Structure 1
Amino acid sequence: MAPLIEVGDKVILTGWYDNTENNRYNPDPDQWVGIGDRTADEMSHAWIGVTHLDEEGLEKIKEDRKARPISDRD
């Protein structure tokens, strides 16, 4: 079930990288890696889909969710 984000709420992305030899997906643990905008740099991307709801739409979704049995909720 998609979360409802209301005015004033914050969405925070935290990312981290394991560039050590313990990471089996790291092709070269000895290679220096820096953060940046180039494709050779470590990057983190967050894709968030947002649908704007007016007050009426928000209240309708809240009511619909409350009406569903807990076992049917995602």
Structure 2
Amino acid sequence: VTSAMSCATDYDAQFASRFSAEDAEFQRYRERAPDAPPVVEDWRARRDRRAPEHRQHEHRFPERRHDRNFGAYHQRSRF
């Protein structure tokens, strides 16, 4: 238990000035220019094109349209 206590105090001493004005590495990181945000190009366009196609096939399974558990895993039909 004493070795664990001495290890903890060693870490306290080692990281006492971490993320402070005395931490030169952190200050360099803080003063750098921010990263550019990621570019996501028109991510909705593909889904929007498929939506009308999905609506055309609703007539295939008309009894499933009103089933509340449609798509749920391992649910028995109530009909």
TM-score (norm 2): 0.21
Question: Considering only CA atoms, is the larger Rg found in Structure 1 or Structure 2?
Answer: 2
Q: Which has the higher helix share?
A: 2
Which is bigger in relative contact order (C-alpha 8 A, separation at least 6)? 1
TM-score (norm 1): 0.22
